[in-house]
Amino acid sequence: MPCQSAAAMVRAAFAGGYAVPALDIETCDMAEAVLAAAERARTPLIVQITPRTLDRLGWRWLSRHLRDLCDAAPLPVALHLDHATSVEAALRGLDHGFTSVMYDGSHLPPDENARNTAAVAEAARRAGASVEGEIGHVGRDGEPPGLDHLTTADEARAFAAATGVDFLAVAVGTRHGHSPGPGGIDLRRLEEIRDVASVPLVLHGGSGVPDAQLRAAIARGIAKVNVGTALNRAYMGAVDAAAPAPRDVVERAMAAVGAEAERVFALTGSAGAA
């Protein structure tokens, strides 16, 4: 089934009360593992990768290979560029066959973020791709202090209306990395945002969020859940220095990534939806 825009699958999840798993991969074997797990669980899937990883490993061959893998899956699959922090990187993703892109201007003043996001959304529409933006800022360790900023309902409403994004990442208490923010997810804030934003919402920092909180967030408008660190940990936990050959290491790592992906599919409620 050819790889598709993520817009329809995220809208269907929003309407159906589940979330599409959006899994960050860093290598081709991770992509193969999550696609195979998705096939077993019959879930729609967003396979995503960051410009940083593509810069390191090579945009041309890696995008092409990922696109081939996603095109071959017998499921609704989108290939999504996660966290393009410049307009150029987002447009590069569209040129390289990504069917969905996130422009992340959450480090910029809101007006500039909205202008850039609207420009990427326009280009994505022309390419038949979906687009995600972020208002507020979901932080990560190592960033300059003071960037974290929880999204307000007013900001989300205005940003969604001004940009034309298909789905919107909001900061409601999670952080990137394995640990949720100190207070967990602010469910009241999420409800307020859902009530005024006209688009499905995205949760970043899905690793390490307690199961009950994740389910509660999905019940309040989260329709795309990003998970990265938990898959990396599963992969690295399976790497055995005493293994006889690299292919044995990769096999074990893929099995561990597949098992973690299936755990996420069960939690997001997406299993069986494809």
Active site residues: 82
> 9's torsion region: left (phi>0), alpha (psi -120 to 50) or beta?
alpha
194 near ligand 13P (CB under 6 A): no
205 near ligand 13P (CB under 6 A): yes
Tokens 């990396």 appear where? 232
- Measured from the CB of residue 239, what is the shortest distance to ligand 13P in angstroms? 18
24 near ligand 13P (CB under 6 A): yes
Nearer to ligand 13P, 43 or 207 (CB): 207
177 near ligand 13P (CB under 6 A): yes
80 near ligand 13P (CB under 6 A): no
25 near ligand 13P (CB under 6 A): no
Nearer to ligand 13P, 210 or 272 (CB): 210
Q: What is residue 59's DSSP assignment?
A: H
Nearer to ligand 13P, 156 or 202 (CB): 202
The alpha-carbon radius of gyration of the chain (Å, integer) is 17
- Measured from the CB of residue 230, what is the shortest distance to ligand 13P in angstroms? 6
Alpha carbon dihedral 264, 62, 201, 117, in 10-degree steps, equals: 170
- Measured from the CB of residue 167, what is the shortest distance to ligand 13P in angstroms? 13
152 near ligand 13P (CB under 6 A): no
Residues with Cβ within 8 Å of 261's Cβ and at least 6 positions away in sequence, in order, are 21, 23, 33, 34, 37, 38, 231
Give the SS3 label for residue 138. Answer: coil
Q: Which stretch binds ligand 13P (CB under 6 A): 8-16, 144-152, 183-191, 228-236?
A: 228-236
- Measured from the CB of residue 175, what is the shortest distance to ligand 13P in angstroms? 7
227 near ligand 13P (CB under 6 A): yes
CA distance 174 to 101: 21
206 near ligand 13P (CB under 6 A): yes
> What number of chain residues touch ligand 13P (CB under 6 A)?
14
Nearer to ligand 13P, 74 or 216 (CB): 216
Binding residue (CB under 6 A) for ligand 13P from 82, 134, 260, 262:
82
207 near ligand 13P (CB under 6 A): yes
- Measured from the CB of residue 202, what is the shortest distance to ligand 13P in angstroms? 8
Length of the chain: 274
CA distance 195 to 171: 16
Give the helix ranges, DSSP H, for 51-186.
51-57, 59-72, 87-95, 110-127, 153-163
Residues with Cβ within 8 Å of 41's Cβ and at least 6 positions away in sequence, in order, are 262, 265, 266, 270, 271, 272
Beta-ladder partners of 167:
132
226 near ligand 13P (CB under 6 A): yes
Answer for the pair 244, 4: CB distance below 8 angstroms, yes or no: no
Residue ranges in contact with ligand 13P by CB under 6 A: 24, 82-83, 176-177, 204-207, 226-230
